[in-house]
Structure 1
């Protein structure tokens, strides 16, 4: 195929060159001589000339029986069978159109094309013997790693999710692809382990209240029917543990909806100060054991879910109350910094170590100093607060020193503000 295309291209090129250098001059000469055409001295391989009238009847030379031809099939047939090239054109003479066929010998050009075709074929055959082994080795070198990568990826399952691609000996592009794949698998494995840990921790949190409820039910079954004190104690304990389980399950469902992107925020315009004053009033009603200070320096208009924003702030205040000793100091303030309305909660509580600051927003995580039975909690509050704040395109920051207290800041984008 390549040889045929090459030889055909060569013939086309040669005929175009021949047409420019020779045929155009012959055609012009014939037009000038007509009707007295003199071609006694034929040169440059000219074989014959035929002139036809508008009805394609021969007018030169007389008695010629050849038909006018401008069909490409006839031209190609003449070229390969007779080694002759037919050029067709027309011209005007005294208001009438005449048609012209000029035939040239093309033996030398056909022979040259045949030699070129043969050389191309021989070169192709030689190239096959020389380059096929090279291409085969190169192809294996390129395809081999891809095949190995495919086989390795087929073996990756939940049970061996730590499998990674070997990037040694791969080409630059494949090496980059392998590294990207391994990094993706690292993220998947980390997420899978986090999910497993989350399920394990949630199961553990639920196991305790279920065990307590089961214990009191057994105690009721044995003695509660006749002992009113045991009956009242059991009912109170079961009620408390049921409420604890309900609170945990609601928090888990909130996080699950966030993960599935089905958490809906009912947003509205409102002044944040109104929400903060509600929180101030409620906090002073439920907590009389700490020194509470509230200072709201500026007001702002937010477009947000009022209920969720209040929930996030309450979580931080409840944490401050929970982890601050009696008569400790808790300060809630608010102000504007650039594009954010900031609500800051400061306390003089037990604080946290630096290693805990990176994990406190993880689900079900509790620092060592907060794991006492008296403090309680599930370790989901801060995770929920972060979800709410980020869901409103805000930020949440924390500073803490072990034994000295903590400082949480919620930063929310606002619409406008007035001096308060």
Structure 2
């Protein structure tokens, strides 16, 4: 049995872990990490692209103003040759000025020498710029209210002689707004791209992890009882999986093959040993009982020793018989005689028999309707006696055991309720395992073998039924047998 427990633990752990897209799943973590990297990458590119576009826009306007300021004296000199200095200055200003570029020239004593056609000495733009503490000589961006202005004020020299100061003011508010709109569109596109990437990454990772999900599905379908029979169907058949997962699948298949062989050998060994040991132990028991019947010349110590040996031999024979029944059930050699059974009468018989043997109070609560099931009467009686006996063993002497018979639309239910010590929640899902004991010392003191409930489960399931447990520590337990009702064939 030491080889069965690791297999059962592995299968139980796989059965309890259902694949789902939770925060602890590998798919979620990989998706989150890759999406985070994508956000950082796309965000960095978007920020850098926006900053670069803004710098290019500003640099282009600054270069334009620097070029105008550099060529402005040449233009004045060119136009002055065709007229006076004032005429050349006005023509140069008119040629340079545009709708968004304001140009004016002031003399060294502050007089306005020339302005763009849409400017005058009282223009708010000239007033705002004049109010500045210092006008930058190199083009710089200055914000006035909600307007962005590229401004510079450079000395104007003509033939090496100072003529005054040239002011250039270009409004780039519309260009800045178009740039911001472009950046907003870029941000929206980046966000949509991130969502598309997140979906694509999650889908791709899900497909990549599909072999692991298949492995979990196969593991959940494996039971120790049917591993040998369904070994071929239990093997993982993976195609086009990554090498790492293929290696894991091959190791998983090899493990199933080894476990199946070990379990089959162990099951055969248990059956053979149970069968071979039962006969000599029966002979030993017969001799012990014969000696006890003729024990007139034995002292008390010898009498007690023989009684103890007889009791232990009987207990060992019962355990071997249980093991033999389980081995036969595993091999499909435990035959059942399914016939319609009046469950009302069977329950009354079991209660009466248990009361007579145990001299304990057993309450019967049965429905007035006839409850007929199709089952093996001897096997079902064996299960009911086992459950009632368990209820008596684990209850206080004055506590009663209840046997309740119910009928639903398509099932018959038999509840065996005790008011004993109860079973902790952590042990309830393993109570039907072979040789499993909630409390080793307590079980031994009650002559338990740890096989009764496992046999009951095997017998009930072989009769197309199921057995379940509800228990609360300190209040008792309720074992429920559910069997399908018998439907007589229609003529």
Instruction: Please give the TM-score of this superposition, normalised by the length of structure 2.
Output: 0.42
